[in-house]
């Protein structure tokens, strides 16, 4: 996609400022938090040598940061929290996967 400056305004005779590329693609603002829900059906798991499938539900929270490599066209997402869990009909207990610290610093959006 190529951005072009707006046409000159007839009443003023000057061109309007073109939006910045990052703003034109609708990237989230720097510093905002993005929360997303997650669902994974029929995930195969083995526990005590027994194979079963489980439906995992949960979410991930990420913070938007400036991408120094390409600040006009992308942002970085830093994982702030991750948690999914689920119960199996035939097993007692709950499987939970949780991460509260960022181990892979950034992913690009």
What digits encode the pLDDT tens for the residues 40-92? 999 998 888 888 889 999 999 999 999 999 988 899 988 888 899 998 766 67
DSSP the chain: ----PPPBPTTT-SBPPPPPHHHHTTPPPTT-EEEEEEEEEEEEEEETTEEEEEEEEEEEEEEEEE-TTSTTT-EEEEEEEEEEEEE-TTSSSEEEEEE-S-SS--EE-
- The residue among 96 and 92 whose pLDDT is bigger is 96
Domain boundaries along the sequence of the chain: 28-108
Rounded to an integer, what distance in angstroms lies between the CA atom of residue 24 and that of residue 22?
6
* pTM beyond cutoff 0.75: no
């Amino acid at each position: 996609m190529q951005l072009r400056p707006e046409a000159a305004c007839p009443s003023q005779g000057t061109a309007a400022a073109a939006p910045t590329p990052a703003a034109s693609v609708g990237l989230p603002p720097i510093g905002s938090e993005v929360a997303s829900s997650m669902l994974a059906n029929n995930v195969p798991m083995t526990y005590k040598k027994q194979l079963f499938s489980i439906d995992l539900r949960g979410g991930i929270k990420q913070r938007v940061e400036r991408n120094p490599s390409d600040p006009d066209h992308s942002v970085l997402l830093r994982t702030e929290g991750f948690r999914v869990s689920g119960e199996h009909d035939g097993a007692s207990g709950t499987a939970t996967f949780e991460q509260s610290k960022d181990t892979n610093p950034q992913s690009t959006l």
